[in-house]
Chains A and B, each alone.
Chain A
Amino acid sequence: MRYVKLPSENFGEFFNFLQRLGPTYGPVKEGKTHHFREVKGVSEMDLNYTRTMLPPKKFFVRPRERLFRLENGWWKEEDGERPFVLFGVHACDIHGLKILDKVYLSDPVDPYYSKRRQNAFIVGISCMPDEYCFCKSLGTHFAMDGFDLFLHELPDGWLVRIGSVRGHEVAWENEKLFEEVTDEDLRHFKEFEEKRANAFQKEIPQEGLADMLDLAYNSPVWKDYAEKCLACGNCNMVCPTCRCYEVCDSWVDAYSSVRERRYDSCFMESHGLVAGGHNFRPTRLDRFRHRYYCKSYFDPSSGFNCVGCGRWDEFCPAGIEHVKVLEEVRGSLR
C-alpha cells in the first residue's frame, strides 16, 4: 500500500478536486442525525460524525429504485448512472459494502448495483467509537480494502492510505497537495489507533458464537425480546448488511407501468408468506430470531453478516441492544 500525507491546509483543495469526479456525498448533520447528502463544500459536512442513519448502501441499492419502465410491452432498463464520490465512509460501512458485494456481485451480477459500485469513488475516514459501536470485536474496525483513499486523522492533517488504482491516479494527479509521511506522522497515527482501540465500550466475543446461537434455538431469551420488539423494521432499514428487497409494479398513467424495488424487512409478516397462505416464519418470535441468525451467520470466507456499526441500537424504538441480546442468548445456554 502507498501512504501519503494530506496536510490540513490542502484539505479544501483536495476536496475541490474530488468534486470534479462527480457529485460528492458526505456526512451532513440534520437535527440529531447524520445523513449522507450531496455536498458542495467541506463546511457542509460534519466529519466528526459517528454514524449516519442510512448506511452508504443507499447509493448502491437505493431505498426505492426503478428497475424498469414498460415500453411497448417490454421492460426498458432505467439508465443514467454517473460517477460519484462517497466521502467520509467509516471502516464498518466499507466492510458492510463488501458483504453486499458477495450477494449482489455473485453470479448473476445485479447490474444496477455493479454499475454504481464501479462508478463510486470511495474515500474512507477514521472515527472514534461511541457507546453503540462494537466493530472492533468483529474485526471490521479497520478496512484493508474496499476504498479508493482512506484518511486517518493526524493533528495537522491526514494520513492517506491509497487502496486502488483510481486512488493512485487521484493522488498522482494532485501530487503537489500531498507530502511524504514522516516518523512523527506514524507516531500520531499509532497513537490515534491506540486511543481508538481503547475507546470501545461494547464487544461481541466471537468464539463459538455461531454454534452457541444455533444451540440456543429454544432459549427463552428470544421470546422475552420478541415480546418487546415492535417488528417495525427500523433495524433492517438502517442496517448496512440487510439486503432484502421487495419488488412492486405500479402504474404511472393509464397505460404505462414501472417496476420498482424497495428495502424490505424480515420483520414483516409477509416476508415468509407464500401464496396459499402458508407462512414459514409465522410469529414475531420466528422473525426476531431469524434476523439475529441472519446477522450472526458465519460465512467462513467473510465472517459474520454484522459489522458492528451500532445503528440497530441507536435507532430501535424499543431500545433493544444487539450485543446484549446475543450475550443473553449465549448466557442462557451456559
Chain B
Amino acid sequence: MTEKLKLGVFELTDCGGCALNLLFLYEKLFDLLEFYEIEEFHMATSLSGGGHYDVALVTGTVSTRRDLDLLKEARNRSEYLIALGTCATHGSVQGSVELPIKEKLKAVYGDEGNPMHALDPKPVVEYVAVDFALPGCPYDKREAFQALIDIAKGIEPVKKDYPVCIECKLNEYECVLVKKGLPCLGPITLGGCNAACIRSGLGCIGCRGPLPGEVNPASEYEILKSKGYDDEYIVRKFKTFARWEP
C-alpha cells in the first residue's frame, strides 16, 4: 500500500448531522481507513493537520466570517474538495431565509450589532469551486462511501442523475403524491436518498435540491395546486432547501 491519502472534515455552520453521518458508516469507516488518514475531523480526532489535504469534506453553510476563513483554508490546502450535505451544496434551511443579515439580526435581537460577524448564510458552492457536490439533509452515507473509495482508487465519483421517483418505484413504495395527495417533491428532486421519506409514508421535502437539467417545477406546481395546496405553501416548499442552486 502506498501512502495514505490525507482527509480533512471541516464543519461550517450546520446541525452537525452531516459530520456525524460519516461516523455512522460504522465498520465501513475501516474500509475508508485503508486508503485515508483522518487529519482533521473534530468529532473523530484531536489531530489538527493544518497541512495539506488530499480530500476535504466540507459541511454546512458559510454563515460567519469564521466559516468563510475556514472554507478558504480548506480549499487552499486541499486537492479535492467535496461539498457535503445540502447546507454546503444548496444552502438548505439556513439559506432559505430571504432577509438581509442586518434585518434578520434586528428582527431577532432588536439591534444590528454583529459581534459574531454573521453573514448571509450561503452554500459553500457560492464561495469556492468544488470538485464534487453531494447533497442531502443528511446526504446518503453510502453515496459518500462510494465517492470516497472512487476517489481513493483514482476515478471520478458517479453523480446521481435521476429523480427520487426512480428509487421510490424500485423500492415499490406506494406513491404518496398520486395515492394520498401528499405534497411530494419526488418528481423534481435529485434522487440518491433511496426515497427515505416516502418509505415512511411522507412526501419528499426536496432536501437534495432540484434534479439538475431540464426539470419541470411548473408542472409540479400545477399538480400540487390541483391537490388543493396554495401558492404560498408550494413556493415555500420549493425554496426550503434549495434557494441557492449550485
Q: Taking the complex as a whole, does A directly touch B, i.e. does some CB pair lie under 8 Å apart?
A: yes
A contacts, CB < 8 Å to B: 30-33, 35, 53-54, 58, 63-64, 227-234, 237-238, 248, 250-251, 253-255, 262-263, 265, 268-270, 283-284, 314-319
Known: A33-B179, A233-B165, A263-B170. 8 other contacts (CB 8 A): A227-B219, A228-B219, A230-B216, A231-B163, A231-B214, A263-B169, A268-B162, A318-B223
Residue B220 lies at the interface, judged by CB distance under 8 Å to chain A: yes
> Once the chains are docked, how many angstroms separate the CA of A69 from the CA of B187?
32
Number of A-B residue pairs at CB separation under 8 A: 108
- Which residues on the A side are within 8 Å of B171 (C-beta)? 63
Contact B165 A234 (CB under 8 A): yes
Tell me the count of chain B residues lying within 8 A, CB to CB, of chain A: 38
Residue B231 lies at the interface, judged by CB distance under 8 Å to chain A: no
- Which residues on the B side are within 8 Å of A262 (C-beta)? 170
* Least distance between B163 CB and chain A CB atoms (Å): 5
* Least distance between A262 CB and chain B CB atoms (Å): 6
> Once the chains are docked, how many angstroms separate the CA of A225 from the CA of B150?
40
Residues A269 and B161 in contact in the complex (CB < 8 Å), given A33-B179, A230-B220, A283-B214 = yes
Residues A237 and B166 in contact in the complex (CB < 8 Å), given A54-B172, A230-B220, A317-B187 = yes
Contact B175 A234 (CB under 8 A): yes
Contact A254 B34 (CB under 8 A): yes
B contacts, CB < 8 Å to A: 28, 30-32, 34-35, 145-146, 149-150, 158, 161-163, 165-166, 169-172, 174-175, 177-180, 186-188, 213-216, 218-220, 222-223
- Secondary structure at the B interface, as helix, strand, loop or mixed, is helix
Closest to B166 in A: A233
Residues A254 and B31 in contact in the complex (CB < 8 Å), given A63-B169, A265-B162 = yes
Residues A284 and B174 in contact in the complex (CB < 8 Å), given A33-B179, A54-B169, A232-B165 = no
Contact A269 B174 (CB under 8 A): no
> Once the chains are docked, how many angstroms separate the CA of A254 from the CA of B35?
8
> Once the chains are docked, how many angstroms separate the CA of A229 from the CA of B177?
15
> Once the chains are docked, how many angstroms separate the CA of A227 from the CA of B172?
27
Of B158, B172, B177, B214, which one neighbours A63 at CB under 8 angstroms?
A: B172
- Which residues on the B side are within 8 Å of A32 (C-beta)? 174, 179-180
Of B145, B150, B161, B178, which one neighbours A317 at CB under 8 angstroms?
A: B178
